[in-house]
Structure 1
Amino acid sequence: MLNIKSIPAFRDNYIWLIQNRDQHCVIVDPGEAGVVIDYLESNHLTLDAILITHHHADHTGGISELVRHFPHINVVGPASEAIPGITHSVAGGDQIEIFGHTFRILDLKGHTLGHIGYLGESLVFCGDTLFSAGCGRLFEGTAEEMWHSLQKLSALPDDTKVYCAHEYTASNLAFALAVEPENPELQAYRDEVNRLRAHHQPTVPTTIGLEKKVNPFLRPDQAEIIKSVSDRTSDLDPLSVFTVLREWKNEF
């Protein structure tokens, strides 16, 4: 059985730690090394590997120091992105093994052109592709690419846990409620998120099932969402609605 913990970093990043029963672990997207090293030392853990979803510095900045501290670890990352320190390049469709568990690599381009995710049994590490009640900005990819990536994730079983890399939920919900103010699931989720954040608790992981109820970027076929964007576009197919939503969120 894998035990997954979050290590907060910077203002709103989460570095995910996957631990087995023998005090060995794997780190996902270490933007900084110091908080990871402190956590490993205080919990007497041995680092075996690092998984990287994309090249942005807040996901990769800790690689070099962690490799110096743990010189024999593997560093797994996307084959199509130039990331210093990668020892094992992977692409969509590949598989890796973590403590006896198989993880499949998902091609999740959109936020960046080479963005990948790591899909295990009932869980996915999706970097900056899908957030709770939101999705990543389009820094390199197109809206169509991001839409296809989100469709891959939304097709996963509803109980799949989504380990995204940022605590953006409260701000994402403010936008989601502007888009779909009459959604009772959104209203209830906002109240729960406000309660969690008031107690300094994380709002992630989320689940695919929850996101299909509250995330406007997975719901562009819903009547209230279509109505909300109808003054911004005359094209109301799901991709066009998604594109307008992403542009609207940029300025929200």
Structure 2
Amino acid sequence: MILKKISILSDNYVWVLLNTSGSCIIIDPGLSEPIIQEIERKKWRLRAILLTHNHIDHTGGTRKIIEYFPKISVFGPKETRQYGVNKIVSHGDRIILLDKIFYVFFTPGHTSGHVSYYSQPYIFCGDTLFSAGCGRVFKNKHLEMYRSIKIISSLPDSTLLCCSHEYTLSNLQFSMFILPNDNFIKLYLKKIEIKLKLGQSSLPSYIFFEKKINLFLRTNDNYVKKSIGLKSTCTDFEVFKRLRLKKDFWS
């Protein structure tokens, strides 16, 4: 399988998985025109769309793409059904596309019905987990988001994190604000700054690296606890919630 991405809007990625014969699936098409143009230009054969949640920057192009490719399957949680979804998915479902199995995980928190799709070695997690950060929490559902992130972080270290936004730089800057003496984060920040200046992407990222640079995956770290004013005896969830609230108001 070949992994590609199409940049849309200001910082969104539409992920594309294709096989050697040119059949492909796309994840979270927030716009239609650049995606249709790329498919036509590359002569790919679109087989399916996967939607993670109902926000317009992830779903906005779906209906026009369906008009252009009317025979495709469109998978998504119930909250996306108004965007032309013809196959509703829920936690534990297995989808076979391009001769690969995609496992559906229920990962709420950013929205009430958010799902993620895992097909080794890729996790397409929408706005749940970002490189060096995580998504904003819907209506104070911090515990749901925490549990969703635990699902994703439990995947093998070799898993490639395919999230939907180029937020890595600002997330790393927040990490440095919390842990200014963390040398690994400091080095990784410099690496990402160079990549972005060269017009390259920071994504996908390995879960292995995320466990080092993503504070939302280091909630049992006593250095993190101390840096945000919590005792070493507090729970991982308390750390997660404090970090997320700090990130909400950080600039």
TM-score relative to the length of structure 1? 0.96
AA of the residue aligned to 1:242: F
Gaps of 5+ in 1: none
AA of the residue aligned to 1:66: I
- C-alpha RMSD of matched pairs (Å): 1.5
Aligned length: 250
Equivalent position SS for 2:238: helix
Q: Deviations over 1:190-212 (max 9, x none)?
A: 01101100101000100111100
Q: Deviations over 1:143-170 (max 9, x none)?
A: 1111111111111110100100000000
2:241 corresponding residue in structure 1 = 243
Identity %: 38
Counterpart check, 1:172 vs 2:171: yes
| Contact 1:180–1:216 (8 Å) recurs in 2 | no
Counterpart check, 1:128 vs 2:152: no
Counterpart check, 1:33 vs 2:16: no
Counterpart check, 1:219 vs 2:218: yes
AA of the residue aligned to 1:152: I
| Contact 1:167–1:204 (8 Å) recurs in 2 | yes
Cα distance change on mapping 1:9 and 1:79 into 2, 3 Å:
same
The worse-fitting range, judged by mean Cα deviation, of 48-57 and 222-231 is 222-231
Matches within 5 A, 1:135-146: 135-140=134-139, 142-146=141-145
Q: Deviations over 1:195-242 (max 9, x none)?
A: 1001010001001111001100111121221112117x9983211111
1:186 corresponding residue in structure 2 = 185
AA of the residue aligned to 1:236: C
TM-score relative to the length of structure 2? 0.96
Q: Structure 1 CA distance, aligned partners of 2:140 and 2:73?
A: 28
Q: Deviations over 1:37-77 (max 9, x none)?
A: 11011111111110000000000000110011011111000
AA of the residue aligned to 1:248: K
AA of the residue aligned to 1:10: L
* CA displacement at 1:181 relative to structure 2: 1.6
2:51 corresponding residue in structure 1 = 52
* CA displacement at 1:11 relative to structure 2: 0.3
Q: Structure 2 CA distance, aligned partners of 1:234 and 1:213?
A: 19
1:155 corresponding residue in structure 2 = 154
Equivalent position SS for 2:6: strand
| Contact 1:235–1:241 (8 Å) recurs in 2 | no
Q: Structure 2 CA distance, aligned partners of 1:202 and 1:184?
A: 22
1:90 corresponding residue in structure 2 = 89
